[in-house]
């Protein structure tokens, strides 16, 4: 499915989110960059936007790796890489977030954008995210959730569950993929449950920032130092 929509993925993200997705991605990058010359992993990188934006934010200082299981998405990312000013500090790896092909304690930060709903085993996903991070490193994820009950929730439901799949069908010629997007949000865990899963993986502390009445949430979690974990 992700291979099918790779060619229109960036365009549809901008249109469907009214370009707010760029703002949320910038917040992820701002939050995950806690060190100079960092090594950052983007889990579920798609077409690489987070990798390129993070590298730009540091002026190309450090290294930035995108991991994804969709060959077509990575093909698009590598095509962008050819015209990117800081291409030497970016790289892309084909692989699964559930069995990340990296050594323990490899990265100074890990991030993901709109990935969690597509993960078949979040417990394993968070455990692997913790494993590849250095002690004291940060994990940041932003995703869509069912919004809190209220007037915004009613408007959101009309747009996201009725109109958005039609927009996807018109522009991407793939209604099934964008119906899946709608359904995945409707069925997803509440953000508080995701917080619990992140904590159970071993991250501490874990905080949540909510946008648009909770329709979009950013989870921020740190990997404790060994001494802190024992305490």
136-146: per-residue pLDDT in tens? 999 999 999 98
% of the chain beyond a pLDDT of 70 = 90
Q: Report pLDDT for 69.
A: 95
Residues 60-77 have a mean pLDDT of 95
Name the more confident of 41 and 1. 41
CATH of 2-146+188-225, one of 3.40.50.10800, 3.50.50.60, 3.30.470.30, 3.40.50.150: 3.40.50.150
pLDDT exceeds 60 at position 213: yes
List the domain boundaries for the chain.
2-146+188-225
Q: Token pair of 43, please?
A: 């889990």
Q: Which among 195, 199, 221, 219 is positioned nearest to 209, based on CA atoms?
A: 219
d(Cα 90, Cα 64) in Å, to the nearest integer? 5
Q: What is the pTM of this model?
A: 0.89
- CA-to-CA dists, residue 195 to 33, 54, 148, 203, angstroms: 21, 24, 16, 10
Q: Minimum mean pLDDT among 23-27, 111-115, 156-160, 221-225: which range?
A: 156-160
Q: Are strands 133-144 and 216-222 parallel, antiparallel or unpaired?
A: antiparallel
Over residues 5-42, the pLDDT tens digits come to: 766 666 666 667 667 788 999 999 999 999 999 999 99
Average pLDDT over all residues of the chain? 89
**Order of all β-strands in the sheet with 63-68:** 90-94, 63-68, 39-43, 107-113, 133-144, 216-222, 206-211
């Amino acid at each position: 499915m992700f291979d099918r929509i790779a060619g229109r993925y960036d365009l549809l993200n901008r249109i469907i989110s009214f370009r707010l997705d760029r703002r949320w991605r910038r917040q992820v990058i701002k939050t995950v960059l806690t060190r100079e010359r960092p090594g950052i992993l983007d889990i579920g990188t798609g077409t690489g936007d987070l990798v390129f934006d993070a590298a730009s934010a540091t002026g190309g200082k450090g290294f930035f790796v995108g991991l994804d299981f969709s060959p077509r998405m990575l093909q698009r990312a590598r095509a962008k890489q050819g015209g990117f000013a800081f291409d030497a500090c970016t790289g892309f790896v084909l692989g699964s977030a559930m069995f990340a092909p990296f050594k323990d304690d490899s990265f100074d930060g890990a991030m993901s954008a709109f990935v969690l709903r597509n993960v078949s085993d979040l417990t394993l996903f968070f455990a692997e995210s913790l494993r590849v991070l250095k002690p004291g490193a940060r994990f940041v994820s932003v995703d869509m959730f069912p919004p809190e009950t209220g007037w915004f929730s009613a408007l959101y439901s009309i747009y996201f569950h009725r109109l958005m799949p039609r927009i996807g069908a018109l522009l991407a010629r793939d209604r099934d993929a964008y119906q899946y997007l709608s359904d995945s949000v409707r069925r997803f865990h509440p953000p508080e449950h995701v917080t619990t899963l992140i904590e159970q993986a071993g991250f501490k502390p874990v905080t949540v920032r909510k946008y648009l009445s909770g329709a979009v949430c950013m989870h921020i979690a740190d990997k404790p130092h060994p001494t802190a974990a024992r305490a």
